[in-house]
Structure 1
Amino acid sequence: MSSNNYALGQVSDFEIKQLRIFKAVVDNGGFSAAETELNISRSTISIHISNLESRLNLTLCRRGRGGFSLTDEGRVIYEMTNKLLSSLDEFRDTVNEMSQNPAGNLRIVVSDGMSLDPRAKFPEMISQFFTQAPDISLRSEVCSMAEIERMLLNDEADVGLAPYHRQLDGLEYLPLYSDVCRLYCGPTSPLFDLDEAEITDEVINQFTAIQPGLKPHEEANEQLSCMSLKGTAYFYETRLAMILSGKYIAFLPEDYARPYVDNAQLRMIAGENRFYTLGIASIVKKRAQQPKAVEMFSNIVSSLHPSVAGD
Structure 2
Amino acid sequence: MTRPSMPVGQIGDYEIKQLKIFKTVADCGGFSAAETELNISRSTISIHISNLESRLNLILCRRGRAGFSLTEEGAVVYDATVKLLGELENFRSTIHHLGSQLTGSLTVLFSDTISLDPRAGMPQVFRKFAKLASEVYLTSEVARMTEIERQVLSEEADIGFIPYHRSLDGLDYQHIYSDTCYLYCSKDNPLYSLDEEELSDEIIDGFPVAYAGMKTQENISGHLANMNLKATAYNYESRLALILSSRYIGYLPEHYARPYVEDGELKPVALDRRFYTLEIMAITKKTCSVNKVRSLFIKTMQDHYRQ
Distance 2:108 2:297 in 1: 10
**Cα deviation code 1:128-160 (max 9, x no counterpart):** 111111110101111111111111112211111
Contact 2:107 2:159 in 1 (8 A): yes
**Cα deviation code 1:18-48 (max 9, x no counterpart):** xxxxxxxxxxxxxxxxxxxxxxxxxxxxxxx
Task: Please report how far the alpha carbon of residue 164 of structure 1 lies from its aligned counterpart in structure 2 after TM superposition.
Answer: 1.9
What are the within-5 Å matches in structure 2 for residues 221-260 of structure 1? 221-260=221-260
Contact 1:182 1:269 in 2 (8 A): yes
Distance 1:200 1:244 in 2: 22
What are the within-5 Å matches in structure 2 for residues 54-133 of structure 1? 100-133=100-133
Contact 1:162 1:280 in 2 (8 A): yes
What are the within-5 Å matches in structure 2 for residues 184-263 of structure 1? 184-263=184-263
**Cα deviation code 1:262-298 (max 9, x no counterpart):** 1111010011100000011111111113411111111
Contact 2:107 2:157 in 1 (8 A): yes
- Flag the 1:191–1:178 CA change in 2: closer, same or farther, 3 A: same
Distance 1:270 1:206 in 2: 14
Distance 1:167 1:258 in 2: 30
What are the within-5 Å matches in structure 2 for residues 33-72 of structure 1? none
1:273 aligned counterpart, secondary structure: coil
User: Structure 2-normalised TM-score?
Assistant: 0.66
Structure with the greater alpha carbon radius of gyration:
2
Contact 2:164 2:279 in 1 (8 A): yes
**Cα deviation code 1:181-233 (max 9, x no counterpart):** 00001111110111111001111000011221221111111111110111111
The ranges of structure 1 where at least 4 consecutive aligned residues each deviate by more than 2 angstroms after the TM superposition are: none
User: Structure 1-normalised TM-score?
Assistant: 0.65
- State the match for 1:28 in structure 2: none
Contact 2:209 2:230 in 1 (8 A): yes
- State the match for 1:292 in structure 2: 292
Query: Unaligned regions of 5+ residues in structure 1, if any?
Result: 1-96
Query: Unaligned regions of 5+ residues in structure 2, if any?
Result: 1-96
Query: % of aligned pairs identical?
Result: 45
Distance 1:290 1:168 in 2: 21
How many residues were matched structurally?
210
> Which amino acid letter does the alignment assign opposite residue 216 of structure 2?
P
Contact 1:145 1:164 in 2 (8 A): no
Q: CA RMSD in A?
A: 1.5
Distance 2:248 2:227 in 1: 11
- Flag the 1:110–1:290 CA change in 2: closer, same or farther, 3 A: farther
